[in-house]
Amino acid sequence: MEHAITASLRPGHGRGALITGAGGQLGHALAETYPEALALTRAEWDVTFPASELLKPELVLHAAAWTNVDGAEDDPQDTAAVNVGGVQHVAELGVPFVLYSTDYVFDGTKRTPYVESDRTNPLGIYGRTKLHGEAASGEHVWIVRTSWLFGATGKNFVRTMLRLGAERDEVAVVDDQRGCPTFVGHLAQATAAITELPYGVYHVAADGDCTWADFAEAIFEDAGLDCRVRRITTAEFGARAPRPVYSVLRSERGAPEMPHWRDGLRECLTLLGAR
């Protein structure tokens, strides 16, 4: 194996690894998948500040990030402090790390899946800071671009739709953005295989693709909620930040293949007790 330092990073283990952002949905999934890792919440390490000298991990799974896409437009400085400065502080530990990035580094003008060699061109502050974070990560890093994360914890589209679907007869959902909804549990499980690969950029997202409206309909169907989806455009929704209309990710570099997004949705709903 090329990186013997990561030998213990497999589901159920994680000795020697450190997880940042353990209070978020991805960090929580990583902590469950690698229970022997040291999982730190923002209260335990705010990555906008350098790490304590007492922290001496062998590997870092860097899940801490500013993920409020619209909020980033109003607070670019704080977004950069987390998404760029935070990466720099992890890199200063001098150990290999996994950096979780985003499909929003692309502008969405392509109509076939984005691969690792495609030109980046983020539309908003969030995507721009994540791309700058990639540039600040150094050489000993696996950059994992993923898409439309959801899980049983935290704030995400699935949990929001379950709440709205229980309260309303109809919800309006954007139907002109297409991506790959990715279950954080599947991404966490794939991380061990990622660290077996050479350092570099990898696209790791769920199999299949859909629009947000398609996703909402699947959530209601699998959860048994009698709620209609009214399909609207991005312009009608009026979000603060621009988003790529197409951001399907696929790998040309041998990244781990992921289960279909419908399988991830069913696993998530089971965890939530919503099936």
3-state secondary structure the chain: CCCHHHCCCCCCCCCCEEEECCCCHHHHHHHHHCCCCEECCCCCCCCCCCCCCCCCCCEEEECCCCCCHHHHHHCHHHHHHHHHHHHHHHHCCCCCEEEEEEHHHCCCCCCCCECCCCCCCCCCHHHHHHHHHHHCCCCCEEEEEECCEECCCCCCHHHHHHHHHHHCCEEEEECCCEECCEEHHHHHHHHHHHCCCCCEEEECCCECCEEHHHHHHHHHHHHCCCCEEEEECHHHHCCCCCCCCECCECCCCCCCCCCEHHHHHHHHHHHHCCC
User: Which one of 34, 104, 126, 246 is the catalytic residue?
Assistant: 126
Say whether 202 is catalytic. no
What amino acid positions are annotated as catalytic residues? 126
